[in-house]
């Protein structure tokens, strides 16, 4: 079991919560990258600093989101990122080349 230091106290990090935070961070990062957003742009939209977004994407349990329900919204966005998938698919779709006239 790992420990996270918060202020002047140390809080145990249980493996289950560490895995959940890591998975959420990875899904948030993938959603951000699909939208071709930089960490700076994401931070500005969230109203937080760049290091906070980076720590969130790394699954740092010490990151406090501070808005009730925000973690559920982020989880939903990252879990079913339909818009992000469409944007990513559109970026990798190649145009068909027409054969030159004979």
Considering the domain boundaries, does residue 87 fall inside one? yes
- Give the whole-angstrom CA distance, residue 54 versus residue 50: 6
Q: How many domains does the chain have?
A: 1
Considering the domain boundaries, does residue 5 fall inside one? no
pLDDT in tens, 28-37: 898 888 888 9
- Give the whole-angstrom CA distance, residue 26 versus residue 37: 15
Considering the domain boundaries, does residue 6 fall inside one? no
Q: By CB neighbour count within 10 A (0-12 exposed, 13-18 middle, 19+ buried), where does 44 fall? A: middle
In terms of residues, how long is the chain? 102
- The residue with greater pLDDT, 98 or 22, is 22
In the predicted model, is pLDDT for residue 74 greater than 60? Answer: yes
- Give the whole-angstrom CA distance, residue 71 versus residue 65: 7
In the predicted model, is pLDDT for residue 3 greater than 50? Answer: no
Q: Hunting for tokens 């809080």 — which residue is that?
A: 11
In the predicted model, is pLDDT for residue 55 greater than 70? Answer: yes
Q: What CATH number corresponds to the domain at position 70?
A: 1.10.260.40
Q: Strands, E, within 1-102: which ranges?
A: 2-6, 9-13
The confidence band for 69, taking pLDDT boundaries of 50, 70 and 90, is low
Number of neighbouring beta carbons within 10 Å of residue 75? 15
In the predicted model, is pLDDT for residue 8 greater than 80? Answer: no
- Give the whole-angstrom CA distance, residue 54 versus residue 35: 16
pLDDT (average), residues 65-88:
66
Which domain does 50 fall in, by range? 17-91
Considering the domain boundaries, does residue 97 fall inside one? no
């Amino acid at each position: 079991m790992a420990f996270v230091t918060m202020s002047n106290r140390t809080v145990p990090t249980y493996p289950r919560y560490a895995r959940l935070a890591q998975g959420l961070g990875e899904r948030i990062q993938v959603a951000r990258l699909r939208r071709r957003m930089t960490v700076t742009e994401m931070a500005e939209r969230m109203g937080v600093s760049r290091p906070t977004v980076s720590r969130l994407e790394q699954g740092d349990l010490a990151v406090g989101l501070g808005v009730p329900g925000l973690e559920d919204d982020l989880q939903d966005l990252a879990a079913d990122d339909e818009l992000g998938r469409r944007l990513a698919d559109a970026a990798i779709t190649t145009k068909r080349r027409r054969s030159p006239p004979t």
